[in-house]
Chains A and B, each alone.
Chain A
Amino acid sequence: MNEHSEVSTPVSAPSEEAALALAVEEVSKSYGAVKALDGVSLHVARGEFVALLGPNGAGKSTLFQLLTGLFVPDAGRIEVAGFDMRHQARKALACLGVVFQQPTLDLDLSVVANLRFHTRLHGMGRGARTRIDAELERIGLTERAKDRARALSGGNRRRVELARALLHDPVVLLMDEPTVGLDPASREQLVAYVHSLCTHRGVGVLWATHLVDEAESADRVIILHKGHWIASGTAAELRERTGQRSLRDAFLDLTGESSVAHEEAV
């Protein structure tokens, strides 16, 4: 991925005074008797690409629901760009861009109307139009601006959702299993594009996935399992720590599911 960083100088390199893009401290959440998250802490620096890796049921979705302010954690703190999610929710949400796992384009509206809906919800005023044009140009969909979202392919819909999440220039970009339903080429493009966002725009990215290969290129990998934080580090560090040769095996080792994997291999 280093090829992207050579294209131009980063807009805002992570510096000393740049606060953390995202800080999660000791967050817990229960649904009835089920403890979905138990004292999870993590952070994402500006310009950093962090992969949140966990098998299904690890608590990724719950964590994202808390990060987007959909629900309030039972305990712990969430800060976006230094703003507390509980007490300064408006400011925190203004610094947050989200691509949800579920498709969230209004298929009856045109691409540009979908984007305008977002800029208005974010109170971006008259300057919004130029930003919409610029983001559409970046994803190469200027020509499709007036088409109904329904007419776009799955990959292009995802691009539009990503463009939308970036319209208000967020400090943090949350991607909740964003490659679900995409073909391999679109998946690769999306990962590469988001890496370039970290490099050039200084966006801090938290990318939730259960696909190990998407985490491979991340600056840091955080492993979540059954609502608990298990490990954090670069892919190399995790391999080294577990003495495994691939991140996949390291992941299976850390989540205690390696025995299952070996059985499968046999």
Chain B
Amino acid sequence: MPTQPGLQQEMPSSDVLNTPPRRSGSIVSHALQALLALSSRETIKFMHQRGRLLSALVRPSLWLLIFAAGFRDVFGVSVIPPYATYIEYQVYVVPGLLGIVLLFNGMQSSLAMVYDREMGLMRLLLTAPLPRSVLLTCKLLAGTFLSILQAYAFVVICALFRLDLPWWPGMLLALPAMFLTGLMLGALGLLVSVYIKQIENFAGAMNFVIFPMFFLSPALYPLWKLQESGATVVYQLARFNPFTYGIDLIRYAMYGQMNWLACGVVAASLIVFLGLAIWGYDPQRGAVRHKRQGS
């Protein structure tokens, strides 16, 4: 056999490879490293795809600029909690638009899951020596971290538009609310990814998740307007939409108020969605089963 230029056949002089690798003993430190692995991978990939940040910001900015500007006089928003005074319509829609940033990125992370599964990268994740529940939770946290970054990028845009928002400490108080809502929406994305087998089906599924969630919520108008106008069915549907509560949670938090109902519903939805996603990725259930290849 000719000697190859690349692959060394002898042991290297250093004995690095003869000593067993140091492995962190505790599962917590191991899980944190896995979280770091997934976060940095998602962030690096996000930075490479400039278009993604752009579209993540253009979407809510368009709503803010065109829609809200056009309708500011049509929808007068009277004084309702948590607002203490009459507010502009543009100010009203900001929590909802922050919600849509979180919703889109949560779904985009699950698209990445489907892509990774098709590309085989998912196998790498699932053969890591950690419980699947821990791996999926790390994945969820990594995606949510990115959601929060995008949400604050949109906050900067709102500042450029000189909106009359509660900047300080409101935007800091909104952080835990956005984090919890981001987790809940990301968990929903994970759950959706269990059942979507191919990327081609993704857009269709998104239409059934993103748009109903967005429109059946107080993102664009207060729900009492629906009730008042007699759209009872829509009103009732919106009341059963977890996204509704995510937006309320963020809206109240921005004004330094706690909406316990919203917080409870968002937290409960998070637990249910994540639990079902973990159940779906369980090897016993086999939801990650590939189509039997022709092999």
Contacts and interface: CB of A to CB of B under 8 A. Distances in A.
Interface of A: 3-4, 7-8, 11, 31, 34, 56-57, 60-61, 68-72, 89-94, 96, 98, 100, 102-104, 106, 108-109, 113, 116-118, 120-128, 130-131, 133-135, 137-141, 156, 159, 167-169, 188-190, 192-193, 196, 200-201
Prevailing SS type, chain A contact patch: helix
Interface string B127-168: 111110000000000000000000000000000000000000
5 contacts: A7-B9, A70-B123, A100-B123, A138-B12, A139-B6
Interface in B16-30: 16-18, 20-24, 29-30
Given A124-B24, A134-B17, 16 more contacts: A7-B9, A70-B283, A89-B131, A93-B128, A100-B120, A103-B120, A116-B37, A123-B34, A133-B16, A167-B21, A168-B21, A169-B20, A189-B4, A189-B7, A190-B7, A200-B11
B258 interface: no
A118 B283 CA distance: 21
Contacts of B21: 124, 127-128, 131, 167-169
Contact of A122 (B23, B40, B126, B286): B23
Interface string B189-208: 00000000000000000000
B293 interface: yes
Contacts of B51: none
Contacts of A96: 127
A124 B44 contact: no
B292 interface: yes
Contacts of A72: 283-284
B5 interface: yes
Interface of B: 1, 4-12, 14, 16-18, 20-24, 29-30, 33-34, 36-37, 40-41, 44-45, 48, 119-121, 123-131, 283-284, 286, 288-289, 292-295
A93 B17 contact: no
* Residue picked from A3, A68, A93, A123, most chain B C-beta under 10 Å: A123
A34 B23 CA distance: 41
Contacts, number: 163
Contact of A90 (B17, B40, B129, B284): B129
B16 A117 contact: no
Which are the 6 A-B pairs with shortest beta-carbon distances? A123-B30, A120-B37, A102-B120, A140-B6, A121-B128, A93-B129
B142 to A, nearest CB: 12
Contact of B45 (A104, A108, A190): A108
Given A134-B12, A140-B8, A121 B124 contact: yes
Given A69-B283, A104-B123, A31 B9 contact: no
Contacts of A71: 283, 286, 289
A88 to B, nearest CB: 10
Given A108-B45, A192-B7, A127 B22 contact: yes
Nearest to B1: A192
A83 to B, nearest CB: 10
Nearest to A185: B4
